[in-house]
Chains A and B, each alone.
Chain A
């Protein structure tokens, strides 16, 4: 399996756009960072694309055939496809029918369906077209999805990427309003946990910065971005200035 770089991922999306799967697959996950930023590290070994799991349950055979034509071999019992070049692509499900964590898709192609993604995808402005073809999550939706993602084995990576996306779009009023609206669409305790998780991730980086020492200059700029992202997140979620 190879680590996909940004150009490789965007090229894959162009190919998908030219296939019958166009508009059905949405770049997301850590590879979704490639769709919204040219500078934030995606730190991923595979490509995640969102798909309507209810549509997959009906069109399963066609999805498998279209993916085969794109050069991907399906791994039985999984949502994973691999290419001869070593690229790994995972289908991640959402649903327009319900908001629940479950297994959906079909018997041959089962996919995880995530309640949070289903909710986010039901809201306006959740995706956008990429300039060269293909769809990706919008920056605010990607940030919200990563803030809400719970994957203990990945540590704070999702939260750090979310904070960096927020910092990179800090001056964009539309982005801030969009993210504020997305945060408001979830119960308050979920957002509180997301901020606490972001805190923990930022503190882990701070420990890394201290251990790494001055030679790891790349950390300093990242840490500033993380602080800025956290500050804006607190503001948008209504937590700024409560301490005195």
Chain B
């Protein structure tokens, strides 16, 4: 690689090229109706190292969800399915906030297996057994309780979690919001 500094003319050409590329990126973002509204979101990192744990389910997904119902606050794909009947990703995992003792108890009770060391993602590009993916939190996020007894993060926090875990996905967010139950209307039965 040359260590010759770029001439001013070369810098100007590069600057103009970057400006043009950025203009196209800007237009692509703005082609989504929700662009401006989503600027208000502060992404939340659900898969924060040191906080996130993952272990394979040892029982059917509904049995594990029901067993943890009183202690977990579901988010991401699990919350989306509970709230709208439609998930975000194809991997049939449970994703939620809980305390470390709840997670440990799930292991002891045989609901989940030994926590895995790697592969922490909610959107794997390979097939794997259904997992419980937990964000261990002593200070739980804001939540609401559904008629089923399941607790899910608030809608606003769900958007933050999606943003911080899957990136800005206007396609997913728009699809999700289109199925959001109106206030006072129960979500689809689980």
Contact indicator B120/A210 (Cβ below 8 Å): yes
A234 vs B37: C-alpha distance when bound (angstroms): 11
| Chain A residues closer than 8 Å to B47, beta-carbon distance | 210
Q: Are A241 and B45 in contact (CB under 8 A)?
A: no
Q: Shortest CB–CB separation between residue A223 and chain B, in angstroms?
A: 7
- Tell me how far the C-beta of A8 lies from the nearest C-beta in chain B, rounded to whole angstroms: 19
Decide if A195 is an interface residue (CB 8 Å cutoff): yes
Alpha-carbon distance between A28 and B8 when the two chains are bound, in angstroms: 18
Minimum distance in angstroms from B39 CB to a CB of chain A: 5
Docked CA distance A214–B136 (Å): 14
A202 and B22 contacting across the interface, CB-CB below 8 Å: no
- Size bracket, chain B contacts: 35 or more
Q: A242 and B37: CB pair below 8 A?
A: yes
Complex formed: what's the CA distance from A102 to B15 in Å? 10
- B156, A243: Cβ atoms under 8 Å? yes
Main secondary structure of the interface of B (DSSP, over half): helix
Assembly CA distance A203 to B45 (angstroms):
9
User: Is B185 part of the binding interface, using a Cβ–Cβ cutoff of 8 Å?
Assistant: no
Task: Say whether A112 faces chain B, with CB atoms less than 8 Å apart.
Answer: yes
A78 touches B5 (CB 8 A): yes
In the complex the two chains form, what is the Cα distance from A174 to B49 in whole Å?
36
In the complex, whether A101 has a CB less than 8 A from a CB of chain B is: yes
Residues of A contacting B101 in the complex (Cβ-Cβ under 8 angstroms): none
Q: Give the residues in chain A near B50, CB-CB below 8 Å.
A: 214, 220
Known contacts A1-B3, A193-B22, A242-B37, A210 near B49 by CB under 8 Å: yes
Are B45's CB and A152's CB within 8 A? no
Enumerate chain A residues within 8 angstroms of B35, measured Cβ to Cβ: 192, 196
Which residue from B6, B26, B43 sits with its C-beta under 8 Å from A199?
B43
Q: Is the CB of B40 within 8 A of A240?
A: yes
Query: A239–B39 contact, CB under 8 A?
Result: yes
A195 engages B8 (CB within 8 Å): no
Q: Is A18 an interface residue (CB 8 A)?
A: no
Q: Which of B1-42 contact A (CB under 8 A)?
A: 3-9, 11-12, 14-16, 18-19, 21-22, 26, 29, 35-42
- Is A79 part of the binding interface, using a Cβ–Cβ cutoff of 8 Å? yes
B149 part of interface (Cβ distance < 8 Å): no
Interface centre among A150, A195, A220, A243 (most CB of B within 10 A): A243
Q: Is the CB of B42 within 8 A of A78?
A: no
CB <8 Å contact, B18 and A151 = yes
> Is there an interface contact between A78 and B8, defined as CB atoms closer than 8 Å?
yes
- Select one of A112, A152, A243 contacting B8, CB under 8 A: A112
Contact among B40, B45, B167 for A239, CB-based, below 8 A = B40
Question: Which of B3, B11, B19 lies in contact with A150, CB distance below 8 A?
Answer: B19
Q: Which residues of A contact B41 (CB under 8 A)?
A: 199, 243
Scan residues 152-198 of chain A and give those whose CB is less than 8 A from a CB of chain B: 152-153, 189, 192-193, 195-196
1/0 per residue, CB under 8 A from A, across B154-190: the answer is 0110010001100110000000000000000000000
Of residues 74 through 96 on chain A, the ones whose CB sits less than 8 Å from some CB of chain B are 75, 77-80, 82, 88, 90
* Chain A residue at minimal CB-CB distance from B19: A150
Interface assignment of B67: CB less than 8 Å from any CB of chain A: no
24 contacts between A and B (CB under 8 A): A1-B3, A75-B5, A77-B7, A78-B8, A90-B5, A101-B16, A103-B9, A105-B8, A150-B19, A152-B18, A193-B29, A195-B39, A199-B39, A206-B43, A206-B164, A209-B49, A216-B49, A220-B49, A227-B43, A237-B39, A239-B40, A240-B40, A242-B37, A242-B40
What are the 3 A-B residue pairs with the smallest beta carbon separation, nearest first? A80-B5, A110-B8, A242-B40
Contacts A196-B29, A206-B164, A243-B156 supplied; 6 other A-B pairs, CB < 8 Å: A77-B7, A152-B22, A196-B26, A209-B45, A216-B49, A239-B36
Binding site for B on A (CB under 8 A): 1, 75, 77-80, 82, 88, 90, 101-103, 105, 110-112, 150-153, 189, 192-193, 195-196, 199-200, 202-203, 206, 209-210, 212-214, 216, 220, 223, 227, 230-231, 234, 237, 239-244
